Chains A and B, each alone.
Chain A
Amino acid sequence: MNLFTDPEKGRAVSRALGLDLREITPGGTGAAGPGTEELPALVGTAELLPHLRAPHGGIHGGALLALADSAAGPANGLAVLPRWVVTTNLTMRTLRAAPSGPLTVTARVLRRGRHAAVAAFEVHDDEALDRGGGGADGRDYVRDDGPPAAPVALGRLTSAALDPKGGPPPLARPLHMSAPPDPSPVPWEDLIGIQRDPDAVRMPVTDDVLNPWGIVHGGATAALVDAAARHAAAGAGAGEAAFTADVALYYLAPGRVGPLRAATSVLALRPDGWVVDVQVNDEGAGDRTVASAVATVREA
Chain B
Amino acid sequence: MTVLRRAGAVRSPVASAVVTPAPDPYPPDDHLLRDLGLWMSWHAGPIVRGGIARSANVTNPSGSVVAGALSVLVDLVGGGAAFVASRPHGIATADMALHLTGRRAHGPIEAEARILRAGRSTVVAQADVRSGDELLARAGMTFMVMARPDDSAGPRPFGPDDEPSLAVDFAGPTGLPVPYREALGLVAVDRARGEVEIGVDEYLHNSFGALQGGAVVSLVDAAAESALTEACGAAVESLDLHITFLALGREGPVRSRASVLAAEPSWGAARVEVHDTGHDGRLMTVADVTAGLVTEGAGAERAGVAEVGA
Contacts and interface: CB of A to CB of B under 8 A. Distances in A.
Contacts of A294: 97, 99, 138, 140
A272 B261 contact: no
B122 A115 contact: yes
Contacts of B135: 267-268
B288 interface: yes
Interface stretch (B50-58, B182-190, B201-209, B290-298): B290-298
A71 interface: no
Contacts of A150: 261-262
B142 A158 contact: yes
* Chain A interface helix/strand/loop/mixed: strand
B271 interface: yes
A242 interface: no
B239 A154 contact: no
Interface string A283-297: 000000100101010
Contact of B140 (A246, A275, A292): A292
B306 to A, nearest CB: 25
Nearest to B103: A268
Nearest to B260: A148
Interface residues of A, number: 39
Interface stretch (B74-82, B113-121, B173-181): B113-121
A85 B129 CA distance: 33
A268 B104 CA distance: 12
Interface string B37-52: 0000000000000000
Interface in A250-272: 250, 252-253, 267-268, 270-272
Contact of A270 (B102, B116, B120, B259): B102
A246 B266 CA distance: 16
A268 to B, nearest CB: 4
B244 interface: yes
Contact of A271 (B147, B242, B246, B295): B295
B144 interface: yes
Interface of B: 94-95, 97, 99, 101-103, 116-117, 119-122, 124, 126, 135, 138, 140, 142, 144, 147, 239-240, 242, 244, 246, 259-262, 266-267, 269, 271, 283, 286, 288, 290, 292-293, 295
